[in-house]
Amino acid sequence: MTLPNLETALEVERDHKHLTEQMARFKLFVKSEPEPEHYSRWRLEFLWQLRDFKNRLLKHFDLEEEGGFMEDVMVMAPHCARQIKELKKEHERIPVLMDGILAELKAMTKMDSDKLARIQSRISEVMGTLREHENQEHKLIQNAYYSEYGGPA
Ligand SMILES: [Fe+2]
């Protein structure tokens, strides 16, 4: 059996940190209210930020799925197999939720406070799901890799 690669876990953890920073910037933008005369430009910027964030997230999920992290955890913590399977499913569900929000934003061709409030609340729900998701992965890493290597917790 090849030994799980600690560098893989560190890379995922680093990417989690960057993602959290990006999430904070994006959340700040989401809270902003457009000036009525700048609505179109503001919406375009919102769409781009949402798309960029989704793409960034997909790449993060690629790293976790293809980079060996999930396989390593599966080997080190086989009792977590069910949880890992659930996390993988969430990698598919979260982008779908984001696509729904993108479609809603795209359809809001005129400023509508109620619709905007709904979009903002859907985004904050997805962000909450994502934060919880990342926390679970972080704990898996702590438990699996660091107990194996005795590294920093
Ligand atoms: Fe993650």
Tell me the domain boundaries of the chain.
Answer: 6-30+37-146
Mean predicted confidence (pLDDT) in 30-39: 89
Q: Ligand 1 centroid to 16 CA: how many Å?
A: 6
pLDDT at 103: 98
CA distance linking residue 153 with residue 145, whole number of Å: 10
Q: Ligand 1 centroid to 133 CA: how many Å?
A: 7
Q: Ligand 1 centroid to 134 CA: how many Å?
A: 5
CA distance linking residue 6 with residue 11, whole number of Å: 9
Q: Ligand 1 centroid to 151 CA: how many Å?
A: 20
Q: Which residues, other chains included, contact 70 with Cβ-Cβ below 8 Å and sequence gap of 6+? A: 64, 84, 87, 88
Q: Ligand 1 centroid to 144 CA: how many Å?
A: 15
Report the run of H or E that residue 55 belongs to, with start and end.
helix 39-66
Q: Ligand 1 centroid to 113 CA: how many Å?
A: 33
| 3-state secondary structure (DSSP) of residue 152 | coil
Torsion from C-alpha of 122, 124, 129, 132, nearest 10 degrees: -170
Write the class of the CATH domain 6-30+37-146: mainly alpha
Q: What are the pLDDT digits (tens) for 61-100?
A: 999 999 888 888 888 888 999 999 999 999 999 999 999 9
Q: Where are the beta strands (DSSP E) in the chain?
A: none
The rounded percent of the chain whose pLDDT value lies above 90 is 70
Among candidate residues 151, 8, 134, 122, the one with its CA nearest the CA of residue 75 = 8
Q: At what angle do helices 6-31 and 113-141 cross, to 10 degrees?
A: 160
Q: Ligand 1 centroid to 93 CA: how many Å?
A: 14
Q: Which of 2-11, 23-32, 43-52, 120-129 has the least mean pLDDT?
A: 2-11
Q: Which of 20-24, 40-44, 62-66, 68-72 has the least mean pLDDT?
A: 68-72
pTM of the entire predicted model = 0.88
Whether residue 29 is predicted with pLDDT greater than 60 in this model: the reply is yes
End-to-end, the C-alpha distance of the chain in Å comes to: 25
Q: Ligand 1 centroid to 19 CA: how many Å?
A: 9
Whether residue 118 is predicted with pLDDT greater than 50 in this model: the reply is yes
Query: Mean pLDDT in the chain?
Result: 90
Q: Ligand 1 centroid to 4 CA: how many Å?
A: 18
